[in-house]
Structure 1
Amino acid sequence: MINIIKSVLFDCGYEDVVQTEIEFEKLEYKIDIFKNEYIGSQVFIVLQTLESQLVSLSSIKDFIIEIANFFRESDIYLPDMDKNTSLVYCVKNDINSEKLDVLKVKIEDDPFYFKKYVFSYSEAEADELKKLCKQRRQTPHELIQTYILDANNFSRFKKNASNEKVYRLVSELLIKIPVIPIKFKTQGQIKSVPDFLQEIQKCNDNEVGKLDRIIQTLFDSERNLEQPELIDEILEDWGFACMEDENE
Structure 2
Amino acid sequence: MEILLKVLKELNFDFREKFNVYCNLSDDRKMTVSVNLLISNKNNTQTFLVINCDNSQLADYVDGEIIKQIASKFRKRECHRADMDKNTSLLLVCKYQDDMVDTSSKIIIEDDPYYFKKYVFSYNEKELESAACWLKQNEGKGSIISLVQDYITDTSNFSKYKENYLNEPIYAFFIELVTKLHCFPMKAAESKNIKTVNDYLKKELDDLRNKPRRPVDIDSKRVESFIELKMDITSVDDVCQKWNLLLEEGSES
Instruction: List aligned pairs for 1:232-243, cutoff 5 A.
Output: none
Q: What is residue 212 of structure 1 aligned with on the other side?
A: none
Q: What is residue 63 of structure 2 aligned with on the other side?
A: 60
Using the aligned pairs only, state the percent identity.
32
> How far did 1:139 drift?
4.3
Q: What is residue 136 of structure 1 aligned with on the other side?
A: 138
Q: Distance in 1 between matches of 2:104 and 2:193?
A: 30
Gaps of 5+ in 1: 188-217, 226-248
Instruction: List aligned pairs for 1:89-238, cutoff 5 A.
Output: 89-94=92-97, 100-137=102-139, 138-184=142-188
> How far did 1:165 drift?
1.5
Instruction: List aligned pairs for 1:68-79, cutoff 5 A.
Output: 68-79=71-82
| TM-score w.r.t. length of structure 2 | 0.69
| TM-score w.r.t. length of structure 1 | 0.70
Q: Distance in 2 between matches of 1:39 and 1:121?
A: 29
Larger Rg: 2
> For the Cα contact (< 8 Å) 2:61–2:67, is it kept in 1?
no
Tell which has more relative contact order, 1 or 2 (C-alpha 8 A, sep 6+).
Answer: 1
Aligned residues: 192
Q: Does 1:16 align with 2:15?
A: yes
> How far did 1:28 drift?
2.2
Cα 1:66/1:147, change in 2 over 3 Å: same
Write the letter of the residue equivalent to 2:125: E
Write the letter of the residue equivalent to 1:172: E
What secondary structure, in the 3-state scheme, does the structure 1 residue paired with 2:156 have?
helix
Q: Distance in 2 between matches of 1:23 and 1:223?
A: 59
Q: What is residue 5 of structure 2 aligned with on the other side?
A: 6
What secondary structure, in the 3-state scheme, does the structure 1 residue paired with 2:56 have?
helix
> How far did 1:59 drift?
5.1
> How far did 1:219 drift?
7.3
> For the Cα contact (< 8 Å) 1:51–1:95, is it kept in 2?
no
Cα 1:39/1:96, change in 2 over 3 Å: same
Write the letter of the residue equivalent to 1:126: L
CA RMSD of aligned residues (A): 2.5
Q: Distance in 1 between matches of 2:33 and 2:193?
A: 40
Gaps of 5+ in 2: 25-29, 200-253
